[in-house]
Amino acid sequence: MVTIKWLGHAGWMIKFSKATVLIDPFLTQNPTAAMKESEIDRADFIVITHEHFDHVGDAFAISKRTGAKIVGMFELSQMGKEQGVPEENFIGMNKGNLTQFGDVSIGLTHADHSGNECGALVSGDGKTIYHAGDTALFGDMKLIGELYHPDAALLPIGGFFTMSPKEAAVAAKLIGAKYTIPMHFNTFPPIEQDPDKFAELVKEGTTVKVMKSGEEFTLQ
């Protein structure tokens, strides 16, 4: 059984049978955060999609406290060292493929944004989750779907900095995940959006699951 919990904004907690993976745990300064940084009592891996404050978030503090390995673009390790994160807590990768780390596989994908940006794939227990990171729409999302067949695609819909519902609906079609879940909206005024309108735009090929911050969803 694999459960995913929305922590608010672009933050997620993914629980596999033998590992817990956080993605972009932006909590302390997040007005929509589902929990406090101090309430994260276990994390085996923390994936960071890019260097912006609302994605690095509390990753370094959580890593120092729990010993979680931080996975992201290589340059992130330099930021973390400046904040006292032990060098051995970093797995500096680049975009390219899924790599096995114990009981889970993690890979970084293309994203179209700024800040040494990437998307992320996390796989374990027969389930694969694609977190698009902050990104504009790009056609090779279709390849991500064809190569990795994600069970869930986590897509930004806020606009201004990323895709809006219009572009994200096309992305959902290209990827063709079993479930598509919107994120990165309504945290701040520039990214106010109605997720139900996004769901209306997605006509076929995936089931849209609109979640609330703090809600958990079990992948079937």
Q: What is the pLDDT of residue 80?
A: 87
Q: Under 8 Å CB-to-CB from 100, ≥6 apart: which residues?
A: none
| CA–CA gap between residue 16 and residue 65 (Å, rounded) | 21
Mean pLDDT of the chain: 97
Q: What is the pLDDT of residue 191?
A: 98
What is the helix (H) or strand (E) element at residue 207, kind and residue range? strand 207-208
Burial of 46 (0-12, 13-18, 19+ CB in 10 A): buried
Kindly indicate the confidence band of residue 216, based on its pLDDT and cuts at 50, 70 and 90. Answer: very high
**Residues 112-152: tens digit of each pLDDT:** 999 999 999 999 999 999 999 999 999 999 999 999 999 99
Helix (H, G, I), strand (E, B) or coil at 49: coil
Q: What is the pLDDT of residue 82?
A: 87
**Residues 199-214: tens digit of each pLDDT:** 999 989 999 999 999 9
Kindly indicate the confidence band of residue 78, based on its pLDDT and cuts at 50, 70 and 90. Answer: confident
Q: What is the pLDDT of residue 167?
A: 98
Is the confidence at residue 13, as pLDDT, over 90? Answer: yes
Q: Under 8 Å CB-to-CB from 132, ≥6 apart: which residues?
A: 111, 119, 141, 153, 154, 155, 156, 171
Pick the CATH number of 2-212 from 3.30.9.10, 3.60.15.10, 3.40.430.10, 3.60.20.10: 3.60.15.10
Kindly indicate the confidence band of residue 81, based on its pLDDT and cuts at 50, 70 and 90. Answer: confident
Is the confidence at residue 79, as pLDDT, over 90? Answer: no
Q: What is the pLDDT of residue 220?
A: 82
Going through 87-186 in order, the beta strands assigned E by DSSP cover 90-93, 98-101, 104-109, 119-124, 127-131, 152-156, 179-183
Q: What is the pLDDT of residue 149?
A: 98
**Residues 147-202: tens digit of each pLDDT:** 999 999 999 999 999 999 999 999 999 999 999 999 999 999 999 999 999 999 99
Task: Indicate the length of the chain as a whole number.
Answer: 220
| CA–CA gap between residue 85 and residue 148 (Å, rounded) | 32
- Among 172, 188, 185, residue whose Cα is nearest residue 211: 185
Kindly indicate the confidence band of residue 106, based on its pLDDT and cuts at 50, 70 and 90. Answer: very high
Helix (H, G, I), strand (E, B) or coil at 120: strand
